[in-house]
Structures are given as C-alpha cells and as structure tokens.
A and B are shown apart, each in its own frame.
Chain A
Amino acid sequence: MSQFQRFLAKRIGIAAALTLVAVTIIFFTLRLLPGSPFTQLVASGNLSEQQVAEILSLYGLNQPLHEQYLIYLQNLLTFQFGYSIRQTRPVWEILGPKLFNTLILLVPALVTTAVLSTLLGMYAGWNRGSWLETGSIVTTTFLRSTPVFITALLFIIVFSYTLDLVPAFGMREITASPDGFAATYLSVDFLHHYLLPFTVAVLYYSGDFLLLARNGVVEQKGSEFLKLHKAKGLSETEQLLRTGRNSLLPVLTYFALRLGMIFQGLILLEVVFGWPGIGRQLVTSISQQDFPVVQAAVFLMALAVIVMNLVADVLSAYFDPAVTAGGGS
C-alpha cells in the first residue's frame, strides 16, 4: 500500500468509528428523555391496553434497550428510519423533501459565495491597506460573526416589510399547490421566495472565504515565487491569479467542511424564513417529541459532517503530500 492509501484507510476507519459513536450518543440521549411521546397518548385513557401494546411493538419500544439499539443500528445502515410518531408515515417520506429543500437553498448559496468572496478576498489581500480591504473585512466580519437569524430579521424588515419587494415567509405562496418537481421549483413564485434567504445565506458564508483568500494572498506577497513572476514581467492580474491559485487549497478544504455543516448550520435561517428544510423540521419535531424524525435528522446532520471532514482531509492530503508524510493525524 502506498502512503496515501494507508492514510486513506486510516481516515475511513476513523470516520466509520466516529459515525458509530455519534449515532450511539444520539440514540441514548433520546432514550434518556423523560416521558416518551406516547405517555400522553396512554395517559389520555382512550386506548385499551392491547392497543397500547400494539403501538409500542409497532415502534419496537417493547423490547429491551439493547435490542432496540441493535435494530436501530441495523436500520440506519440501510437508511430505514422507521415511522414518524406524529404523522404516521415513514420518516424518510417526511425528511426526503425537506433535505432537498435545504440543499436547493444552501448549495447554490455556498458555491456562489465561495467563488465571489474568494475573488474579492484575493483582490483585497493584493491591495493591502486600501479602503476596499478594510471595508470588505469589516462588512464580512459583521456578517459572519452576527448570528444568522439577526441578519435575516433585519433583511426581512427592510426588504419585505418596508420595501415590500419579496415575501418574508415560506417557499411558495400558501395558495400554491404545486404538483411534481418542475412545478415546485421552477416558478417565478419560488424564485420570489428564494431571493431573500439565498442572499442572506450568501452573505453569511462570505466572511470566512474572504478572509481565507485574503490571508493566503497576503502571506505570499513578497515571496520568492512572486518575485520571480514579477521579474518575468507578468502583469499585476497575472501575478495575482498565480498567487491566488497557490492559496486555493485552504479555500477548497474549507468549502468541503462548510458543505458538511450545511444541514445544521442554518437551522435558524430556515426558522426565520419559514423555509421547509430539514433544520426547521428538526426544531418542530423536537418540540413534538417525534423522536424517530429527530433521530434521523440528527443522524443525517452528523453523517454529513463526518463525510465532508473525510473529504476535506483527503483533499488536502492529495494536493499536499506533506500531510500524508506526517501520518496525517
């Protein structure tokens, strides 16, 4: 096995172990919650003992804890998340569309901001000390350090309630009852609802990319490598592009990490905008104690982080062999 393969095997092993530990913690945290969602149902006295027993066995709750745990692990491996308690339909049927709604909002936002703010950051770093550098740093620092729901609230007040340009809530008009993919996502109504949360997400993510790209360029200014390019008579733009290319690795790995945190990072954004994504569903399900849904949602969030962390590690190891040589821990 080459060094890289060994590194890869080790990383994948760690990721698998982490997943196991994470789902175990989620499972037991939920089981420790006082009172199952059925307590109320049973206490209402409207069900016969036999009905109660049937419901419990339907959800596997009549088995000893370790059996429940094993079934749970087995089900997760096959992405069988069981049935929602509140909605009596498969968890996946509930979460699938929500997952998609989150992705369709945040992936384009992340890509947009990665491209735009990296370019802006490179330019800012190149023009060190300019008003543009200070201005862009202060603005993006504000955007990334302020909790996202505050930016969202301020934007809603300005663009929805004051200027009345875009709707403040939801993904479609309440009266719209779209059928199928195209009708749901390819309409002016959808776009109209999309603009504000998309913009806030782009702005929220911008700070880290901008600073990474800017620091990368600043670090390389005055390096031997750049002096060589200057001596070769390359134009300013060409020099900047070459410098930028060298500092792209941190941006790339950071992009992977951010992608991993995509489901959990902007729960509050979804809540404020009433966006029917997985984060908002999680908050609703927690308050309803619908723990098959909670369990599945948290599992998906953890899995995304673990997988993308792995990807980030592998990316930097692949492009920067010094990482693997050091054992890569």
Chain B
Amino acid sequence: MSVDSVEPVRSWVRSGADRIASSLRFVVGDTPAAVGLVVLVTFAFLGVFGPAIAPHDPIRYSVQTGQGAIARLQSPTLAAPFGTTAYGKDVFSQFLAGARPTFVVGLFGGVATGGVGFLVGLVAGYFGGTVDEVLMRLTDLTFSLPFMPMALLLLTFVQPNIWVITAIVAAFLWKMPARVIRSEVLSVSERTFVRSAKASGAGHLRTMFVHVAPNVLPIAFLYTAYGVAWSIAAQASLAFLGFGDPTTTSWGRMLRQVFASGSIRVAWWWVIPPAVGIAAVTTSVFLIGRAYEEVINPEISEQSQ
C-alpha cells in the first residue's frame, strides 16, 4: 500500500477521533445529556451483568413468607426489596435480569438500523439517478407499511425471540437514517474535494467511503443512537402486547404481566421498576442525541448567541 492511499484513512481516523472527543466534551457540558450518559452507562452495566447479579432466578424462584407459603403481591420488604409479583416472584431479580433482552435488542437493533440506513443513504445520494430513485421508493414503501401492525402480523407466525424482534425492528426503521444521510450526502457530493477526487480518477467505492462517508458519519452515529431508543421502545411495546420472547424476562414482559394480571391496581412496586427503566433509557438516548445534534448541526449551533 502506498503512503498516498494510507494517508486519507489516517486522517479519517484522526478526525473521527477528534470529533468524538470534542462531542463527548460537549455532551458532558450539557447537564441533561450528562445525566443521560450516567443512566446509559448504568443500563449497559445491567445489560451485561444484570442476570449474574440478580439474587434469585427471575422465573423459577418464588419468594416465601415466614410460614413457608408463596409470598404473592407483597410490597417491598428486606427479603424482596422491590416486592413480589402476583405469582410470588422477586421483582428485583426480574428487574435485573430483564435488562438484558432490552439491552440486546436496543444495541443490535440500533446498530443495524444505523448501519443499513447509512449504506442505503450513502449509495442513493452518491450515485443519484435510477439507483437513488429505486432506493428512495423502497424507503417510501417501508414508510407506508405501518410498523406496529406489520410487526404483529409477522410475529404471529414466527416464534418471537430477541433476534427475530431485532431483525424486524431493523427491517422497518432503517428508513429514517437513510433519508437524512442521503440528503446530507447530496450536499457533500457537491463540495470541491469530492469533485476533485472524482476528477483525479478515484473509484466510486474509494470516493464514497474515503471522501464522502467521513462527512456524514456524525449523522450516522446520531441515528444509530436514536435507533437504539426506537428498538428498545419497539421491543417493550411488542412484549407488552404479548408478542415478546416468551422464554425470557424483559422489562416489557414484566409490564405485560402486571397489566394482564390486573395487579396494576395495587402493585405499584411491580410497575415502577420496569417502567422507569425503559423510560430512563430511551429518554437518555434522546437527550444525548439532542446535545450531540447541536454540535454537528451548524445551523443550530453557529447562530446561537
């Protein structure tokens, strides 16, 4: 490899790292975003270690009273700090273990959403013409197929598990980043350095990934983050409707059980942990995203006082 071909890649990495460092600095300077970052780190920790640190098995173990009976719908005590479910299960253990499916779908759904959207947007915007037309009509189609009903339909004949749900989420949500990234690519492609790269004989792939892509990466990151929040919300919503993975405990499934069992009238301790868990994570992603958006969107950041 000649020095000439390595140099752009190097500067690509360097400018990328610089950009990430500077936006991290900005995010930490923005109070709501900083709080969001703390929440997300905690959530990632729970996603990885939650099932391991849960004191009991979330499904098999039943909390028992002093007399040896199963403790049903018990408000928080020392033995069960988050109380028990109508089936005598430990809510605290379910909360810890339930973080994982939420985390997995969020992470992979987000990465797939951002990744596919990035590629589609990049290719459509770069090549333009027929390629653009075809890809954009395809995004229009996924826009017009209503997400929730289609997901419900698909999940009636595919046994739901977290990977199927991740795939469905990604299959429907890549359209958002695709559109935004395409329009960004269109404006970048007009700039001189891209034109001169093309004129100097750089191939399509090279121009696309070395010259155009770095300029739209920040938006791709942003939409990957949003994709994480959308995936988590979709997974929780599907699980709540009874279309989640029936074999694992997730926050969405906990909420379904408390709602379907009618215990929601009394058992606030069973509702609050998963509800607050989901709300805190999705909100955090958007608060960080918004702060980050101000860094990368010159129209908002430059004209402010």
- How far does the Cβ of B64 sit from chain A's closest Cβ, in whole Å? 27
Q: A22-30, A74-82, A112-120: which one contacts chain B?
A: A22-30
Contacts of B148 in A (CB 8 A): 264-265, 267-268
B266-280: which residues lie under 8 A (CB-CB) from chain A?
A: 266, 268, 271, 275, 278-279
In the complex, per-residue mask of B286-302: 1 if CB is within 8 Å of any chain A CB, else 0: 11001000000001100
Instruction: Work out how many contacts link A and B, with CB atoms closer than 8 A.
Output: 145
Q: A38-46, A138-146, A187-195, A234-242: which one contacts chain B?
A: A138-146
Contacts of B279 in A (CB 8 A): 142, 146, 150-151
Contacts of B154 in A (CB 8 A): 29
The secondary structure that dominates the A interface is helix
- The answer to whether B149 touches A264, judged by C-beta atoms less than 8 angstroms apart, is yes
B230-250: which residues lie under 8 A (CB-CB) from chain A?
A: 233, 236-237, 240-242
- The answer to whether A141 touches B286, judged by C-beta atoms less than 8 angstroms apart, is yes
Q: Does B38 contact A (CB under 8 A)?
A: no
Of A149, A305, A329, the residue contacting B146 (CB under 8 A) is A305
Contacts of A263 in B (CB 8 A): 146
Q: Does B152 contact A (CB under 8 A)?
A: yes
Q: A100-108, A152-160, A317-325: which one contacts chain B?
A: A152-160
Q: Does B141 contact A (CB under 8 A)?
A: yes
In the complex, per-residue mask of A273-296: 1 if CB is within 8 Å of any chain B CB, else 0: 000000000110011010000100
Q: B14-22, B65-73, B132-140: which one contacts chain A?
A: B132-140
- How far does the Cβ of A222 sit from chain B's closest Cβ, in whole Å? 5
Q: Does A182 contact B (CB under 8 A)?
A: no
- How far does the Cβ of B78 sit from chain A's closest Cβ, in whole Å? 24
- The answer to whether B303 touches A222, judged by C-beta atoms less than 8 angstroms apart, is yes
- How far does the Cβ of B267 sit from chain A's closest Cβ, in whole Å? 10
Q: Which residue of the partner chain A has the closest CB to B240?
A: A149
Contacts of B157 in A (CB 8 A): 32-34
Known contacts: A141-B286, A146-B278. The answer to whether A18 contacts B237 by CB under 8 A is no
Q: Which residue of the partner chain B has the closest CB to A141?
A: B286
The distance in angstroms between the C-alpha atoms of A272 and B264, with both chains bound, is 11
- The answer to whether B283 touches A141, judged by C-beta atoms less than 8 angstroms apart, is yes
- The answer to whether A157 touches B264, judged by C-beta atoms less than 8 angstroms apart, is yes
Question: Which of B266, B285, B304 has the most chain A CB atoms inside 10 A of its CB?
Answer: B304
Q: Which residue of the partner chain B has the closest CB to A30?
A: B153
Q: Does B76 contact A (CB under 8 A)?
A: no
Contacts of B240 in A (CB 8 A): 147, 149, 268, 271
Q: Which residue of the partner chain B has the closest CB to A295?
A: B153
Question: Which of A18, A149, A221, A264 has the most chain B CB atoms inside 10 A of its CB?
Answer: A149
Q: Does A302 contact B (CB under 8 A)?
A: yes
The distance in angstroms between the C-alpha atoms of A129 and B301, with both chains bound, is 12
- The answer to whether A153 touches B153, judged by C-beta atoms less than 8 angstroms apart, is no
Contacts of B283 in A (CB 8 A): 141-142, 145-146
- The answer to whether B147 touches A138, judged by C-beta atoms less than 8 angstroms apart, is no
The distance in angstroms between the C-alpha atoms of A141 and B36, with both chains bound, is 12
Give B contacts to A, CB under 8 Å.
31-32, 132-133, 136-137, 140-141, 143-150, 152-154, 156-157, 229, 233, 236-237, 240-242, 255, 259, 264-266, 268, 271, 275, 278-279, 282-283, 285-287, 290, 299-300, 303-305
A-B contact pairs, 12 of them (CB 8 A): A18-B140, A129-B305, A141-B283, A142-B283, A153-B255, A157-B264, A221-B303, A268-B148, A272-B259, A294-B153, A305-B144, A329-B133
